[in-house]
Structure 1
Amino acid sequence: MFEENSILDGLDPESVAFQCKIIAKSGFSEETGITSSLAQIPKVKSLALALDEAQTIMYSAISDLFWRNNIDPKSIDILITNCCVFCPTPSLSSMMVNKFKMRSNIMSFHLSGMGCSAGIVSVSLAKDLLRVHRDSLALIVSTETLNLNWYTGKVHSMLLTNCLFRMAGAAILMSSRVSDKHKSKYELQHIVRTINAQDDQAHRCVYQDVDPENKEGISISKDVVHVAGDALKKNIASLGPLVLPLKEQFLYVISIIRHKVLYTRRPSIYTPNFNLAFEHFCIHSGGRSVIKAIERNLRLRKQDVEASNMTLYRFGNTSSSSIWYELSYTEAKGRMKCGDRVWQIAIGSGFKCSSAVWKCLRDVKPDNGSAWRDTINLYPVEVPDVKIS
């Protein structure tokens, strides 16, 4: 008994078995990363370790971005950081200003509690600020921390976060400077944000709470796929008219009318062909079931969700940064060509669904400094479905 408890770090054996079962079905490889403090026995959780985790990710992402683009930190006019459940004081954005000695008049923001869609929310904020403050440069840094958010209780819905989320981050530059146009990879065309927080079921679908033993965790409801699907439908209803050909819009509207008029035998609502609007799709890699549901509901091809599935396999659910790993995957494969359109879809607590549409301004060559640089030739790989009773 003493030996077993030592191996399990004092955790409930049933909880450990449940997490092993979920991880086996997750579609993750063994290369996904967690902070070293959670890879040891016993696990150590502290504010200092959480800060070290956040700083390690964010400092390296920003340093690499500045180095590859020859950017002086003092040239950054707008700084936006986002991390859902870790919100220290001073803020993460202030830490970045301190580390890189940015200007005292920089417009600095930190977004917290925005869930996995915070990456696109940050882009939306940067877009609005860049419209007002012309000839400016914005830096967005998306990350999530694991250390303080690791759940040690027994409630299965809260244990899911231990199985799904992994350590990662991304840094992105946006500019309204005319001089940067010839260097830019993409032009932002549309941002569409949807939130269903007015609905109680959607609002509590992903929820931070304490369990009966007063242990803090984030509960993920069994309704998450249904709730995400509903938010996605509303988001598409707003995005569709902006991107779809008129014929696809017409067929969609007619199908809705027929669905409402024919009470006795209601036909299904037509799903537009989004391949006519986009060449590439970056669907938040929240989990295999979420990716499969969106693939099915949007009638996408296997190659359309390849970047999402491979990002989930290689890096796991990296929260708000996942859509950038997916975009990087497409670039690393040499598939991004001038004129291509990219649809980024992010979903997260609230419940929110956010879309960003980008147009590629030039052929993008594979980047030797990307997160995929050493392994891209190994992908895609076949990830088998694991069924465990």
Structure 2
Amino acid sequence: MYNIYLKSGLGEETYAPPFIFQGLNEATLDSAWVEAKEGMFSSVDSVLSKTKIDPCKDIDVVIVTCGSFSPSPSLCSLLVNHYKMGPAVKTYNLSGMGCGSGILAIDMAAHILRGSSGQNVRNALVVITENISLNWYYGEDRSMLVTNCIFRVGCAAAIVTNDPARRGEAKFQLIHSLRTHHGTDDSAYKAAFQEEDDKGITGVSLTKDLIRVAGHNLRGHIKTLAPRVLPLSQIIQYMKSIALNALTQGESKPMVPDFTTAFDHICIHTGGKAVIEQVGKVLKFDESITEPARMTLHRFGNTSSSLVFYELAYFEAKRRLRKVIEFGCLPLGLDLRLGVWFGRH
């Protein structure tokens, strides 16, 4: 584990669940509940304080995503009970969706609010977390030990609203969203897989094929994304390179579009040092583009589904955001205010 950790890109100040420091041989269900409550309550308290929203009266929708911990009662029910929300609140509990589920939850909130026009549904609380306690691997399979080395405690919360009166207060406006799914590819499906090792110990296996699969599927996503966001000059150059590739029978490679011409800020998945390097290589990003991902990974580790929001907080902390800004990969016509919680263990 130590050898894997040295190559991970994580620093010395990341956060882990309390049970690791308590000398316990194995985490319990109580350990997982403690981890969930500390992260969720802190992040929700933060965003409610910033937005001055009353959870009893003003929250219409609650969406919680936690890929690796799905208890009964649900994490949504935990929030409803803790904050004494009204009986009309609609709750959605997402699980098993991995590191991308934070953005997917925001996308879901946007679709719900857009589809609820005229029904007086204004505010959606989105809570994005993961849970390490019950997913700590105690065996010796190297591919499963990787998760112990890179995943760390993290949680974020956001209010998504379609209330025109709050437009001027919102931190971000959601413009577009695009999702591509490669689950039909067996390599992609099994790249991160929960299973038992040969001794019957459960863990999540991160295969060596993960980096290759990520690069391949990123190229597929870009083919869909590029025509929608790139300026005309970039599209023309790209089409010329495609034509030249066909004429030379593959000797001339298609150009990689310059996505910095379309976006002011780019958040790269902080899955690990190798993931960041692969994305930078595929898209030909210089170190200034990959810096937020590398620094977020170093300080907080891979916080899984909440990691994009930690990167947004990094942009804010470095004062890189202007008052009016567009993010190209999020839904149309909605405002978002963001409260991010950082672990305190």
**Structure 2 length-normalised TM:** 0.93
Unaligned runs of 5+ in 2: none
1:330 correspondence with 2:315: yes
Letter in 1 for 2:101: A
Distance 1:96 1:188 in 2: 25
Whether 1:296 aligns to 2:281 is: yes
Gaps of 5+ in 1: 1-18, 344-354, 373-389
Please name the residue that 1:68 is paired with: 50
8 Å contact from structure 1 (residues 341, 360) kept in 2: no
Whole-angstrom distance in 2 between the partners of 1:309 and 1:360: 29
Q: 2:253 is matched with which residue?
A: 268
What is the match of residue 98 of structure 1? 81
Residue 236 in structure 1 maps to residue 219 in structure 2 = no
Shift of residue 359 of structure 1? 10
In 2, Cα distance between equivalents of 1:199 and 1:261: 30
Residue 208 of structure 2 is aligned to residue 222 of structure 1: yes
Counterpart of 1:276 in structure 2: which amino acid?
Answer: T
> Do 1:337 and 1:360's aligned partners in 2 also have CA atoms closer than 8 Å?
no
Equivalent in 191, 194, 218 of residue 180 of structure 2: 194
Give the aligned partner of residue 58 of structure 1. 40
Asked whether the equivalents of residues 68 and 96 of structure 2 are also in contact (C-alpha less than 8 Å), the reply is: yes
Q: Is the 8 A contact 1:186 1:359 kept in 2?
A: no
Give me the whole-angstrom Cα distance separating, in 1, the residues matched to 2:327 and 2:334: 8
Indicate the percent of aligned positions where both proteins have the same amino acid: 37
Tell me the amino acid that sits aligned with residue 271 of structure 1. V
Contact 1:54 1:145 (8 Å CA) reproduced: yes
Larger relative CO (CA 8 A, sep 6+): 1 or 2? 2
| CA spacing shift, 1:119–1:370, aligned 2, 3 Å | closer
Q: Equivalences for 1:1-389 in 2 at 5 Å? A: 19-74=1-56, 75-134=58-117, 136-263=122-249, 265-342=250-327, 355-356=329-330
AA paired with 2:6?
A
Residue 114 of structure 1: how far off its partner (Å): 0.3
- Paired residues of 1:278 and 1:340 also in contact (CA < 8 A): no
Higher share of residues assigned strand: 1
Contact 1:164 / 1:287 at 8 angstroms: preserved in 2? yes
Aligned-pair Cα RMSD in Å: 2.2
Structure 2 Cα separation of the partners of residues 138 and 259 of structure 1: 47
Instruction: Could you list the structure 1 runs, at least 4 aligned residues long, displaced by more than 4 angstroms after superposition.
Output: 357-361, 369-372
Which stretch of the first structure deviates more once superposed, 204-213 or 239-248? Answer: 239-248
Q: What do the CA deviations read for 1:76-126 (whole angstroms, capped 9, x no partner)? A: 111110011111011111111111111111110011000000011101111
Separation in 2 of the partners of 1:83 and 1:371?
Answer: 15
Displacement of 1:137 in angstroms is 0.6
- For residues 370 and 48 of structure 1, do their structure 2 counterparts lie closer, same or farther at Cα, with a shift above 3 Å needed? closer
1:152–1:215 contact (8 Å) kept in structure 2: yes
Letter in 2 for 1:188: L
Worse-matched range after superposition: 246-255 or 163-172: 246-255
CA distance in 2, matches of 1:328, 1:129: 26
Cα shift readout 1:156-193 (whole Å, capped 9, x = no counterpart): 10110000100010001111111110101111111111
Contact 2:272 2:302 survives alignment (8 Å): yes
The CA distance in 2 between the partners of 1:254 and 1:310, in whole Å, is 37
